[in-house]
């Protein structure tokens, strides 16, 4: 019930249509229900006795009623479609807005591919179910009750046969539906996986191709696609029994009704018109039951989708603004106090283990460590992309959890390790950093990031169109554009997470030199693989398996840190061993 309530909140402006639709349908059903009755009168009072006047009279009534019922049916179809598609639109919008508020941890929980399925396939399922429910939910019971009442009023001695259908259908239908439900549930989980494969493969299509993994990827896709097919045919096989079951009931009842009526008609206690009327109502009753079962079936199919959508809508963002947020960042100092981080409460080992570091405003800090040593995890805490489990992270002397998140993130610019450009021109991409930046400012930050040169060499310059994911610029160019974009924010703290890995050493040095000269007061935190990228930093932090292994200047670390020495000498072998190999 809670699920339905949550979902119905998205109906909003389509509430009117959602109420009108069943009302029109009630009118349609009532008209429709009188048709067999009038037909019976037409036969008995017109055809049987050869009264042309009566035939015309009932004929006209029938025609007008049929026309009205047709119009009502068409009207309800239109309003129903509008209501359900409108509902779906609102639902998608609400989900999308909610996802925008998600923290990284929330997104980790669902996975991107599952979010995509939920926003598309699941919403479509709910939309279809909503439309069916709007149109069938009132139609079927009314139809059923009306047809029963009318047939009992025509001839109670025959009408009781109709009641036979109820126990037969009442036991068989639920049996079929309960067997189909778990299969449908499984199908949606498979859809998630399918989307994951498609998404991963298409995004990484270049990697797939260069590793000649197409065969493997095709197999992966085919496997999931096949299992969805298998499940669907299994579910449909179960569902397919409903059709024949209905037919069986219809014919059984028609035979019984005809047999009983024949006796009464011969005995003279019933008319032929009554028989036609009753047979029509038999059809109506079974149609009513059928619609009810279709509605229930739709609910069964869409129930997992409803649950999955509700999960998105009711998920609490793990990172939210505090009650009285601090809206200004004093300076660019950063201080980690006994910080422990875990991505999941169930993990055995913390990703960051009791880290304490102080960084003064305006300092340049290098971070070095092997892959998986938690370098990215450490810096992601500064703009509060994740929250610590224990301890605290302070920026400008204030706990990051006390800031207005937007304020904090505007002052802490981070070039993520896996950064992305969006489709659009270079200018548009840069202005993500600051919508109102002038062209001069764009050029200035691009010069700083050593990007101006290659941008100017493009025929369209700053208006060059960047394809989706930055496919038409090189890795190093992309990294420099991302740095420029971050610089445009004029942050107090700039974090570069391995952001110059694809840039040659000379350009890398030029970027560092420009930053030192042009933005001396900005705190710069640089994660790097090469010691050359950090050696002139004020201090270098060596991370190892989520712990601080050493802190110091380049010279100090060369003397004291075994890890640092190893990294340094492996990268500077020629210098270390002289030119002996030549
Ligand atoms: N979003 C995440 N969810 C769960 N585990 C993660 C996540 N990000 C990183 N990790 C894990 O945390 C550890 C440190 O990762 P990371 O900070 O990316 O290291 P580095 O940047 O030094 O290569 C790794 O074991 C990694 O698998
Ligand atoms: Mg990393």
**CA–CA gap between residue 33 and residue 147 (Å, rounded):** 7
Helix (H) or strand (E) segment spanning residue 129: helix 123-136
Q: So what's the pLDDT on residue 163?
A: 86
Task: Find the ligand nearest to 385 CA.
Answer: 1
3-state secondary structure 260-290: HHHHHHHHCCCCHHHHHHHHHHHHHHHHHHH
Please work out whether the CB of residue 293 comes within 6 Å of at least one atom of ligand 1. no
Helix (H) or strand (E) segment spanning residue 544: strand 539-544
**CA–CA gap between residue 188 and residue 167 (Å, rounded):** 33
**CA–CA gap between residue 572 and residue 574 (Å, rounded):** 6
Token pair recorded at residue 222: 């085919």
DSSP secondary structure, 466-498, as one string: EPGGGTTS-HHHHHHHHHHHHHTT--SEEEEES
Q: Per-residue pLDDT for 566 more than 80?
A: yes
pLDDT band at 581 (very low <50, low <70, confident <90, very high): very low
Token pair recorded at residue 325: 């947020």
Burial 221-241 (b: 16+ CB within 10 A, else e): eeebeeebeebeeebeebbee
Q: So what's the pLDDT on residue 236?
A: 83
Residues pairing with 358 in the sheet: 335
Please work out whether the CB of residue 106 comes within 6 Å of at least one atom of ligand 1. no
Give the highest mean pLDDT range of 197-201, 336-340, 465-469: 336-340
Do the beta carbons of residue 241 and residue 224 sit within 8 Å? Answer: no
Alpha carbons within 13 angstroms on the beta-carbon side of residue 298 total 19
Q: Per-residue pLDDT for 469 more than 90?
A: no
Please work out whether the CB of residue 381 comes within 6 Å of at least one atom of ligand 1. no
Closest by CA to 224, choosing from 184, 185, 195, 183, is 195
Please work out whether the CB of residue 350 comes within 6 Å of at least one atom of ligand 1. no
For residues 150 and 91, the model is more confident at 91
Q: Per-residue pLDDT for 577 more than 70?
A: no
Q: Per-residue pLDDT for 517 more than 80?
A: yes
Q: So what's the pLDDT on residue 390?
A: 95
Q: Which long-range contacts (CB under 8 A, 24 or more apart) does 42-46 make?
A: 42/273, 43/271, 43/272, 43/273, 43/276, 44/271, 44/272, 44/273, 44/274, 45/273
pLDDT band at 582 (very low <50, low <70, confident <90, very high): very low
Q: Per-residue pLDDT for 354 more than 60?
A: yes
pLDDT digits (tens, 9 = 90+) for 432-456: 989 999 999 999 999 999 999 999 9
Ligand 1, atom 14, lies closest to the CA of 374
Helix (H) or strand (E) segment spanning residue 523: strand 523-527
Assigned architecture for domain 346-574? 3-Layer(aba) Sandwich (3.40)
Pocket test for ligand 1, best of 105, 109, 343, 417 (most atoms within 8 A of CB): 343
Closest by CA to 501, choosing from 486, 522, 480, is 480
Closest by CA to 318, choosing from 394, 379, 376, 389, is 389
User: What average pLDDT does range 289-294 have in this prediction?
Assistant: 78
Ligand 1, atom 17, lies closest to the CA of 374
Do the beta carbons of residue 400 and residue 408 sit within 8 Å? Answer: yes
Q: What is the DSSP secondary structure assignment for residue 317, as one 8-state letter?
A: P
Q: So what's the pLDDT on residue 301?
A: 80
User: What average pLDDT does range 256-271 have in this prediction?
Assistant: 90
User: Looking at ligand 1, which atom is closest to the CA of residue 380?
Assistant: 17
Question: Which range, of 123-132, 202-211, 275-284, 386-395, averages the lowest pLDDT?
Answer: 202-211
User: What average pLDDT does range 82-102 have in this prediction?
Assistant: 96
- CA–centroid distance, 351 to ligand 2, in Å, is 12
Q: So what's the pLDDT on residue 578?
A: 46
Residue with tokens 């959508």: 309
Residues pairing with 90 in the sheet: none
pLDDT band at 574 (very low <50, low <70, confident <90, very high): low
- CA–centroid distance, 369 to ligand 1, in Å, is 13
Q: Where are the beta strands (DSSP E) in 88-234?
A: none
Please work out whether the CB of residue 492 comes within 6 Å of at least one atom of ligand 1. no
User: What average pLDDT does range 109-126 have in this prediction?
Assistant: 91
Do the beta carbons of residue 369 and residue 543 sit within 8 Å? Answer: yes
Closest by CA to 522, choosing from 369, 442, 414, 402, is 414
Distinct helix (H) and strand (E) counts, the chain: 23, 12
Q: Per-residue pLDDT for 384 more than 80?
A: yes
Question: Which range, of 321-335, 463-477, 551-565, averages the lowest pLDDT?
Answer: 463-477
Please work out whether the CB of residue 371 comes within 6 Å of at least one atom of ligand 1. yes
pLDDT band at 580 (very low <50, low <70, confident <90, very high): very low
Q: Per-residue pLDDT for 484 more than 80?
A: yes
Question: Which range, of 220-224, 352-356, 556-560, averages the lowest pLDDT?
Answer: 220-224
Alpha carbons within 13 angstroms on the beta-carbon side of residue 141 total 7
CATH number belonging to domain 2-314? 1.20.1560.10
Please work out whether the CB of residue 117 comes within 6 Å of at least one atom of ligand 1. no
pLDDT digits (tens, 9 = 90+) for 133-190: 898 888 888 888 888 898 999 899 989 888 887 788 778 877 877 788 788 888 888 8
- CA–centroid distance, 251 to ligand 1, in Å, is 66
Listed by start position, the domains of the chain span 2-314, 346-574
- CA–centroid distance, 223 to ligand 1, in Å, is 30
Ligand 1, atom 4, lies closest to the CA of 343
User: What average pLDDT does range 339-367 have in this prediction?
Assistant: 93
Q: Per-residue pLDDT for 191 more than 90?
A: no
Q: Which residues, including other chains, have CB under 8 Å from residue 542's CB and lie 6 or more apart?
A: 368, 369, 548, 549, 550, 551, 557, 561, 563, 564
**CA–CA gap between residue 290 and residue 248 (Å, rounded):** 12
Pocket test for ligand 1, best of 107, 112, 377 (most atoms within 8 A of CB): 377
Tell me what the pLDDT averaged over the chain comes to. Answer: 90
Using a CB cutoff of 5 Å, list residues around ligand 2, an ion.
Answer: 376, 417
């Amino acid at each position: 019930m809670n699920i339905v309530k949550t979902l119905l909140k998205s109906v909003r402006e389509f509430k009117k249509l959602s109420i009108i639709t069943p009302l029109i349908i009630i009118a349609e059903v009532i008209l429709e229900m009188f048709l067999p009755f009038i037909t019976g009168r037409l036969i008995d009072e017109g055809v049987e006795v050869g009264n042309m006047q009566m035939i015309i009279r009932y004929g006209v009534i029938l025609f007008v009623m049929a026309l009205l019922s047709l119009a009502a049916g068409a009207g309800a179809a239109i309003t129903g479609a509008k209501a359900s598609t409108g509902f779906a639109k609102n639902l998608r919008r609400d989900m999308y807005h909610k996802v925008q508020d998600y923290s990284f941890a929330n997104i980790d929980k669902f996975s991107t591919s599952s979010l995509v399925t939920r926003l598309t396939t699941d919403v479509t399922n709910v939309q279809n179910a909503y439309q069916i429910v709007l149109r069938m939910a009132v139609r079927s019971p009314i139809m059923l009750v009306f047809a029963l009442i009318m047939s009992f009023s025509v001839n109670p001695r025959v009408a009781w046969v109709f009641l036979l259908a109820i126990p037969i259908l009442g036991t068989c239908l639920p049996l079929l539906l309960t067997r189909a439900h778990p299969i449908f549930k499984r199908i949606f989980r498979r859809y998630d996986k399918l989307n994951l494969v498609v998404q991963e493969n298409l995004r990484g299509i270049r990697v797939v191709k260069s590793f000649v993994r197409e065969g493997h990827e095709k197999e992966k896709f085919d496997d999931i696609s096949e299992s969805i097919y298998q499940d669907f045919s299994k579910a449909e096989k179960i569902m397919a029994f409903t059709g024949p079951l209905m037919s069986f009931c219809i014919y059984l009842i028609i035979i019984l009704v005809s047999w009983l009526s024949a006796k009464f008609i011969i005995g003279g206690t019933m008319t032929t018109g009554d028989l036609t009327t009753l047979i029509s109502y038999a059809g109506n009753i079974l149609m009513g039951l059928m619609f009810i079962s279709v509605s229930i079936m739709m609910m069964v199919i869409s129930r997992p989708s409803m649950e999955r959508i509700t999960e998105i809508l009711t998920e609490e963002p793990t990172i939210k603004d505090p009650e009285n947020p601090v809206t200004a960042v004093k300076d660019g100092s950063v201080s980690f106090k006994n910080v422990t981080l875990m991505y999941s409460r169930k993990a055995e080992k913390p990703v960051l283990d009791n880290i304490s570091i102080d960084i003064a405003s305006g300092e340049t800090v290098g971070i070095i460590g092997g892959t998986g040593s938690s370098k990215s995890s450490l810096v992601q805490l500064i703009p509060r992309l994740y929250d610590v489990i224990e301890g605290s992270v302070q920026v400008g002397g204030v706990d990051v959890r006390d800031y207005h998140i937007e304020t904090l993130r505007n002052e802490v610019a981070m070039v993520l390790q896996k950064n992305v450009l969006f489709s659009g021109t270079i200018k548009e991409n840069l202005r993500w950093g600051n919508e109102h930046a002038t062209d001069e400012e764009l050029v200035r930050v691009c010069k700083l990031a050593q990007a101006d040169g290659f941008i100017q060499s493009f025929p369209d310059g700053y208006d060059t169109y960047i394809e989706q994911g930055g496919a038409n610029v090189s890795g190093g160019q992309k990294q420099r554009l991302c740095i420029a974009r971050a610089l445009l924010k004029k942050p107090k703290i700039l974090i570069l997470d391995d952001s110059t890995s694809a840039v040659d050493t000379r350009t890398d040095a030029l970027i560092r030199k420009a930053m030192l000269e042009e933005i001396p007061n900005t705190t710069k935190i640089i994660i790097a693989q090469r010691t050359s990228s950090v050696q002139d930093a004020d201090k270098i932090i060596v991370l190892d398996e989520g712990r601080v292994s050493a802190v110091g200047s380049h010279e100090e670390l060369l003397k004291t840190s075994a890890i640092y020495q190893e990294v340094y000498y492996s990268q500077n072998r020629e210098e270390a061993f002289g030119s002996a190999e030549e």
